[in-house]
Amino acid sequence: MMFPTTGEDVSGQQRRRDDQMLYLMIKPDPEAEAAMDALRRQYDLARKYALERFHFTLVPFGDIRLLSPENLELIRRAAASLQAEPFEVSLNRISGNALVGSRMPALRDFQHMLVARLDAFGVDRPDYAFNPHVSLTYEEWQQRNIQVSPIRWRVRQLLLINSVHGKGHDLLDSWTLESRQGSLPF
Query: Do residues 95 and 145 lie in contact, with contact meaning Cβ atoms separated by under 8 Å?
Result: yes
What is d(CA 111, CA 31) in angstroms, rounded to the nearest whole number? Answer: 23
The pLDDT score that the predictor gives to residue 47 is: 87
Per-residue pLDDT band for 185 (boundaries 50, 70, 90) equals low
Each domain of the chain, given as residue ranges in start order, spans 20-176
> Contact at 8 Å (CB) between 125 and 147?
no
- Residue 16: pLDDT above 60? no
pLDDT tens string 146-178? 999 999 999 999 999 999 877 888 999 999 999
Task: Give the length of the chain.
Answer: 186
- Which of the two residues, 186 and 146, has the higher pLDDT score? 146
The predicted pLDDT at position 165 comes to 78
Sheet hosting strand 134-135, strand order edge to edge: 134-135, 98-100, 87-95, 145-155
Q: Which CATH number fits domain 20-176: 3.40.640.10, 1.10.580.10, 3.40.50.1580, 3.90.1140.10?
A: 3.90.1140.10
Report the DSSP beta bridge partners of residue 50. Answer: none
What's the predicted TM-score (pTM) here?
0.84
Residue range 60-71: mean pLDDT, rounded: 94
Residues with Cβ within 8 Å of residue 183, at least 6 apart in sequence: none
Which SS3 state, helix, strand or coil, does residue 51 take? helix
Residue 145, number of CB atoms within 10 A of its CB: 10
pLDDT > 70 in the chain, percent: 87
Q: What is the pLDDT of residue 184?
A: 53
